[in-house]
Each structure stands twice: as structure tokens, then as C-alpha cells.
A and B are shown apart, each in its own frame.
Chain A
Amino acid sequence: MISLRLSGRWRAKSFVLLQRRPCRWNSTTAEAHPAGGHLPSVATSSFLRTTRDSALRTPSMHWTDEQETGSHDTLIAGRETRKMNMYQAVRDALSNALMRDDTAVVFGEDVAFGGVFRCTMGLAEEFGRERVFNTPLSEQGIAGFGIGIAAMGHTAIAEIQFADYIFPAFDQIVNEAAKYSYRSNGQFQAGSLTIRCPSMAVGHGAHYHSQSPEGFFMGAAGLKIVVPRSPAQAKGLLLASIRDPNPVIFLEPKILYRSAVEQVPVDDYQLPLSRAETLIRGSDMTLLTWGTPIYHCETAMHMLSNPPEALAPHVPSSLRGAKVELIDLRTILPWDVETIVESVNRTGRLVVVHEAGRVGGVGAEIGAEVQKRCFLKLYAPVKLITGWDMPVPMQFERFYMPDSIRILDGIIETLTY
């Protein structure tokens, strides 16, 4: 039965992402914007590395075998890449983690048959049901069980089926995992726990299949929060999270599981945590985000410099040559204040985009810090473009999300402040 699942027939069916709670994720490709004609989308994004060479030259990539042998041979001649979407890259990272570390186990609801988003497909067959297994349906159980495994020095890689369902585990994560080392003065540690969860919106997920809960964990000192934007980023950041000496919540933007495709190095590598990545250099404004909105920002920047005819009247020609710097924050906690402040000190303007509501959100935290550190350099108030402060509303989602048009409007407002 299991081998059938991996057959071409199985994959070819547009099976996706079943889940125990309602939603349909069949249309994970980012929508084309008819008004724009040739606007970039996830499918055509310039941030996705589509050649072997560009993939192997991903900035600040650390090859795990080099770290182990102590050699720092930056030659990439022998390295291979493979075209993967994000769920395949996550699966590849899990496979690397299980291969290199005999204590590593992968568990969660429905993971044995591959997971509702296919991120653990075939792992149970490859590594055995003792290392890749289903758990009973209990998020607090999953988190607590993972902490126990980690406390024994083993590597626990847990999956919570949707980030929206992480809240029963909030106590275990915030009061236990985050404080485990501190309260025992380092005697006991839960650092080898990583909790992966599909997160962010897809356009029809409503209240309980759309949330970006990173803001809720911002005050949990001792915890790290990581959000990847693409397959290669997901692999490198996930492996770094698994090996980081602190518990990590790894939030995977679920709309990108299938829509984001790039060349991903096959070898084991890591990307640094708490380091933002500047995707486009600029001097007039800093645009900061993470996860799915990266691609909406790319579209908005494209519309700013080259507006489609219908939008042209709203984009002053004086702004079309503006140089916007786009930064992917990647690690939300603890965040890379150095990179952001350095950028804002140069540009004098900051716009932060996230899908979660504004009140108590990550943008508010970053905005406060930046206004303190860059106060005399700012030409405009820090602007937050976020979801509205309400549950994600099913039939109104298109008007809830901070999409490219709202980002464009915010860029214009900030540049002309």
C-alpha cells in the first residue's frame, strides 16, 4: 500500500494537502495579476534560484560536511542540485537530519503516510516507523513529548499540522521549552526540539487555516522563530534550526509548498539563523518582510518602477526610479537588528509587511526598535502593512491580505511623506 503512494500515479493526481480540518489547498499557485500583464509572481520570481550554479552560490551557505572535516573548501564542483518545491525541500532536509543523527525522530499527526502537506512522504519507509511516526491527535502531547525527547539529548522534529493549531501546545512551548535551560541554569535543555508548522494564508483558509502566529511567541525568550521563503531557504534554515541549541518554531508558508520551485543542493547544508538576507539593494526605502509576502513585495516593487497602464496615474513618475531595498527577515526571534538598522540608516524609510494583524504584531516590535535606533535618520514614520485586526474572514480574504496593491500604496505613501 505504501509503495503505491509513491508511484507516479499518486503524485500526478492533484492530491494535496488533505487535512483534518476544513480547507482546500489545490490552488497553491500564486494568482496571476491580470491588471499587470507580466507582473512577477511566485512562479516567475527572480528570488528563486533556477540554475545549479546560482543555487550552489546561495549567500552564507555552510556545507555540513565542511564543518565536520574542518575544511573550508568553497569549491562547489562536486555538488549536485535537484529541482524541488518547498515540501520536497523540507522532506530532503528531514532526510538529511535523520541520516546524520541516529537520535533524530520525526513525529506528528498523519506524518507516517507523508503528512497532509506531503513533507514527510516516504520517510517512514526509508527510516522506519520507529523514527518517523504518527502521534495521537494532541498538540500539547506532541510538544511535551518532543521536549522530553530533547531533554534526553535526542533530536526531536515535531510537526503541528497547522500553525493555527499550535495553541494547545502554547503552555509546553512558552512555559516549558522556552524556559527549560534557564530554569535549570543549563542543566536541562530542550534545544534539540524543532516544531515545524504550515502557516500563513492561502486565500480560502478562513480563521483556522491562515494564521501567522509568530507574534504570539515574540515574548517567549529562549525560543527561536524561523520562516523560510523558498525551497532552498527552507532546507538550509530547517537543518540549522534542528541543530541549533535552542528550541525553534519553524513556520512554513503553506502556499509555497507547491508554488515555489527552485534548484536545491542535495548535500547537507545550513543557512544561519538570526541573519536577515537583503534580496535587493536600494537606497531610498527599506521594505522588510518574511515568508509569502516576499513575493507580493517583489510584485509591488515591479509595479512601482514599471506600473501597468491602469495603475500608472497612481504612481508619480518621480518615484519610478526610487531604489527600494528588500530584506527577508528569515529569523523572527531573535531578529537581526544589525542588518535592519544599517539599512534604515542608509534609506531613512522603513515599511514592514506581515499577514498577521497589526496590534501586538512583529512589525510593531521592529518599528519600536528602529524608531529608537534610527530616529534622526528617518524621513517618514515606520509603516506597517498587515492584515486587519480580525480573524481571517473566508469570503473577504482578498480584501484582508496585505497584497501587492496595498504594499505599492504604502511604498508611495512612505516615499512621499
Chain B
Amino acid sequence: MLVRVVQRAPAFSNVCRRRLISTSGPAKSFPKEHGLLPSTQSPIVSSLKFFNSVTVDGGQIPTYRVLDGTGQPIEGASLPEEIDRGTARRMYEHMVQLPIIDNLMYNVQRQGKLAFYVRGPYGEEATLIGSAAAIANDDEVLGQYRELGVLMWRGFTLADMMNSCFGNCEDPCSRGKQMPMHFGSRKYHFHQISSPLATQIPQAAGVAFALKRDPERRGKNCAVVYFGEGAASEGDFHAGMLFASTIPSPALFIARNNGFAISTPANEQYYGDGIAARGPGYGIHTVRVDGNDILAVYSAVKEARRLCTQEGRAVLVEAMTYRVGHHSTSDDSFAYRPRQEVEDRKRLDNPLARFRRFLEARSWWSAEEDDALKARLKDEVMKAFRKAEVLPKPELREMFDHVYEGEEPWILKEQREELGRLLKKYGDVWGPWKAELQKHKGAGRELMEPKA
């Protein structure tokens, strides 16, 4: 980074720049007592006092909740009016679908039918579906890798999901290039997932900035970025918050604080008051919400989105949840947390059960319907799985696609020809290739005998 040795004229002090951006009115003159503090309007005091909290009373940031554990509204809470019977049932069905998919995928991965599976949002269903329902379907989503529920809420089908996990010739996301669960869909405004953590966060600030510059979408759409509390430790998180705030951009940050980054508990991830405490540090509107309460998530995200799009500024929502599942199929989380703790969580504070009780109390749902739904979803998931499982992998030539757009560099052209030559020579006699070629659509023939 260049060392800046620019002498600033007083008129360009930070405070002025800030005012020019944050208010539409004329810049006010400095009160006299601030003459010696040109970069702040902080009040002057004579008593020495340190502080370590963002709340007025110095306590912890509160958590917004609507429903208690039995699905009843807590005292003083108001229910979101637009959640009618139909919407509520649809939200519940999407919630129920997630663990059903998750369990099936987990088991088939265990049987070796799938290379890898990162556990779905087991325990985070309310956060995902509540937020998905609260944002517009054409808001730009940048996810981490547990946001399948948001994508499916928008219409991404079970078939899409399964084809992507198998990376087969119908994979609508990366055409077999990426690992399972790394979804992405231009059609559904869901940016492609990548494995490096937190990289999507500053990108979301850029996406939001572009939305604000687009006359068609300005004031209508925002960028919604999901990440875990672990990812919030990366420098990219801080850069993303800082950019969205300083270069005002309608980015909605949704931190899924599920208590664990693989084995590392949140108390070894940060010492401060969660992720929410960082929002005001960047001048960002912030709220903490009970992530197991779908109506609280819905209301909070709905209002956050309104602030975000109307003011064109960033908003941070920290949803407190618990990762009931293991991190991934390579993880056994009972190695670092007691099984009982997980069981207690599942039993005492299950986001699905809480919402179901709410629905049942309104006679919007019944036990019979629940059984029927689960049976139907299991059947649909299994059918989609079986269909995707037998489809071949994409044509081999596709591995060379989209490294570069436009003109293909000579090196890739030569490497594709080299692979074609090698396959022609050894494809039939080298066992590991012979077997693998059969799994691909076209069995590599398009590389071995390229059309002139």
C-alpha cells in the first residue's frame, strides 16, 4: 500500500467528508470547543472514563424475539401482519424440507455415493427461510454455503439441487467444476458460492453499490450477504462492512451466529459482544435477533431491508442460532462438544417445532398434514436423488470452458489437444482413465476426435 503524504486542507477533514456524504444539508460549522479535534464532533468531558460496550447502559446487546418456545407471541411482541395462513404454511414447508434433504444427503454421502456434503442449515432453518421470505426474490444474494433454503425459496428445484451436488451433465450451477453445495444461479439472483470464507462480504458491498447506480433497481433492491460468525473474523468481513458503510451501499449483512466454526466455539472466535457489536463501529444500523424464531427473523430482516433500500445504506442483522448438525461429512462434532448439549438444543429450542406450534395454535396446520408433508417431501427428495445419481458427468471438453471468456489462450488450446492425444492413446488401456471416461457424457470422444 502506498504511504500517503498528502497534506489535507482543513476543508477536507474527515468530518467534512463524512457530513457531505451522510447529510443532504449544508455542512455545519464546528462548535468552538472542538477546534482542537478537527476530525470528530465528540463532546468534550473532563472525567477519564473507558468504555467497552455499544449499548447506552453498558449491558449486552438485546435479542429481538416474537415467539416463545411454545410458539406463543411474547409479551409486547407484534406479529408481522402479512404472514397469512398461506405464507406461513409455505414457510413451514420450506423449513421442513431442509433437514429432510440434509439427512438423505448425509446418509448417501456416508454410503460413498457423493464425494462430500457440507451439512445443511440444521438448526438454522428459521434464519434462512425467515430471511428469504422477508427479502425480495430479485434481491442479490451472496451466500456462504448453508443458504440452500434461500435459493429453493426462490424456485430452485430439488432436481437442480441434486444435479448440482452430483456435478452431472444437468448441473445448472458449475457444470461439475465445483464441489457439492457450491450453488449459484443467475436466474435466481444467487451469486456462486466459493469455499474461501468471507470473500463474498466485500463483494456484496460492490454488488450493492452497483444496484444503487442502476436506475432500474435503485431504491428497489439490495444485496443480501450471509456469513457465519467464524467468517466474520476474516479481514474481508471488516473490509466489507467498512466499504458498504463508507461508500454508502444498500448491503444487508446477515450473520448466522451458530456458535461454532467447525470445532472452534464462538467464545474462542471473539471476546466482544458477538457480531452485532461491530455494526455501530462502522456506523451501520444493527439488530440482534433470535435466529430460531422465524417470525422475529422475518420482521427484523423485513425492516432491515426497508432501511437498506430506502436509505441506500448498509444494515447488519445478527441471528443467534445453534448448529445442530456436524460441520460437514468430514466432521464428528461430538469430539469437541457434548452430545447431550446438542440433544438438549434439538429438544428445547427447535426452530421447526416452535413455528409448528404457532401454526397449530391458529389451526393453520395439523399433525396429519405434518405427516403427509414429510412423507411427500421424503419421496420427492429420494426421486430427485435417484434421477440425478444416474445421469452422466458433463462432457470432458467442458473442463476447459470458462477459464477465460472470449478468445482462448494458446496454452489452453494446446493443453486440450494434449489431453485429447493422451486419451486417444491410453484411454482404452489405462484402467483409471478407462473407467472414468465411461462416466462422462460422450466418453471423451469430443476431445479425442475434435471437429476441425
Contacts and interface: CB of A to CB of B under 8 A. Distances in A.
Nearest to B167: A395
A209 B174 CA distance: 16
Contacts of A17: 330
Interface in A298-315: 310-311, 314
Interface in B290-332: 326-332
Contacts of B233: 136-138, 141
**Contact-residue size bin, chain A (C-beta under 8 Å from the other chain):** 35 or more
Contacts of B444: 399
B332 to A, nearest CB: 5
Contacts, number: 210
Nearest to A405: B430
B426 A22 contact: no
A355 to B, nearest CB: 14
Nearest to B238: A138
B432 A406 contact: no
A204 B114 CA distance: 10
Interface string A12-33: 0101111111111110000101
A394 B365 CA distance: 43
A113 B197 contact: no
Contacts of A13: 332
Nearest to A20: B262
A22 B262 contact: no
**Most chain B CB atoms below 10 A, which of A10, A206, A389:** A206
A311 B393 CA distance: 26
Given A35-B432, A358-B411, A406-B422, A136 B197 contact: no
B145 A22 contact: yes
A391 B196 CA distance: 14
Interface of A is mostly: loop
A222 B196 CA distance: 27
A18 B433 contact: no
B180 A393 contact: no
Contacts of B435: 34
A20 B260 CA distance: 10
A134 B268 contact: yes
Contacts of B426: 311, 314, 405, 409
B181 to A, nearest CB: 6
B338 A1 contact: yes
Given A20-B327, A311-B429, A398-B433, A137 B399 contact: no
Contact of B415 (A15, A206, A389, A393): A389
Contact of A24 (B174, B231, B329, B429): B329
B34 to A, nearest CB: 35
Given A22-B116, A314-B426, A389-B411, A168 B236 contact: yes
B403 interface: yes
A308 to B, nearest CB: 8
Contact of B327 (A10, A18, A31): A18
B197 A21 contact: yes
Contact of A168 (B174, B180, B234, B400): B234
A216 interface: no
**Contact-residue size bin, chain B (C-beta under 8 Å from the other chain):** 35 or more
A389 B403 contact: yes
Contact of A388 (B177, B328, B338, B415): B415
A399 B433 CA distance: 8
Given A21-B195, A137-B269, A168-B235, A110 B263 contact: yes
Contacts of A209: 179, 195
A21 to B, nearest CB: 4
Contacts of B269: 136-137
Interface of B is mostly: loop
A98 B260 CA distance: 28
B232 to A, nearest CB: 8
A208 B145 CA distance: 14
Contact of B176 (A35, A164, A168, A395): A395
B425 interface: yes
Interface string B429-442: 11111111000000
A57 interface: no
A164 B419 contact: no
Interface in B402-452: 403, 411-412, 415, 419, 422-423, 425-426, 428-436, 444
B335 A15 contact: yes
Contacts of A398: 432-433, 436
B178 interface: yes
B118 interface: yes
B194 A207 contact: yes
Nearest to B436: A398
A11 B174 CA distance: 36
B182 interface: yes
A22 B312 CA distance: 34
A405 B412 contact: no
A359 B414 CA distance: 13
Contacts of A262: none
A206 B164 CA distance: 14
Interface in B244-271: 261-264, 268-270
Given A35-B429, A137-B197, A18 B179 contact: no
Contacts of A114: 335
Nearest to B262: A20
Given A207-B194, A400-B399, A137 B261 contact: yes
A174 to B, nearest CB: 13
A25 B115 CA distance: 9
A396 B396 contact: yes
B177 A23 contact: no
Given A113-B263, A113-B336, A136 B167 contact: no
Contacts of A4: 335
Contact of A165 (B179, B196, B230): B196
Nearest to A36: B431
Nearest to B234: A138
Contacts of B231: 137
Given A13-B332, A137-B230, A207-B195, A389 B399 contact: no
A35 B234 contact: no
A31 B399 CA distance: 22
Given A15-B332, A35-B434, A23 B425 contact: no
A363 B178 CA distance: 27
A371 interface: no
A1 B236 CA distance: 34
B121 interface: no
Nearest to A17: B330
Contacts of B432: 31, 33-35, 398, 403, 405
Interface in A33-58: 33-36
Given A137-B233, A409-B426, A389 B176 contact: no
23 contacts: A15-B335, A18-B328, A19-B328, A20-B261, A24-B115, A24-B329, A116-B330, A136-B269, A204-B179, A206-B178, A207-B178, A207-B195, A208-B179, A209-B179, A314-B425, A314-B426, A358-B411, A388-B400, A394-B178, A395-B176, A396-B398, A405-B432, A406-B422
7 closest pairs, A vs B, by CB?
Answer: A18-B331, A35-B431, A395-B176, A208-B195, A136-B233, A24-B116, A18-B330
Given A19-B330, A393-B177, A399-B419, 12 more contacts: A24-B115, A34-B432, A35-B429, A110-B261, A110-B264, A116-B330, A137-B264, A141-B235, A206-B177, A395-B167, A396-B176, A405-B432
Interface of A: 1, 4-5, 10, 13, 15-26, 31, 33-36, 109-110, 112-114, 116, 134, 136-141, 164-165, 167-168, 204-209, 310-311, 314, 358-359, 388-391, 393-396, 398-400, 403, 405-406, 409
Interface of B: 109, 115-118, 145, 167, 174, 176-182, 194-197, 230-231, 233-236, 261-264, 268-270, 326-332, 335-338, 393-394, 396, 398-400, 403, 411-412, 415, 419, 422-423, 425-426, 428-436, 444
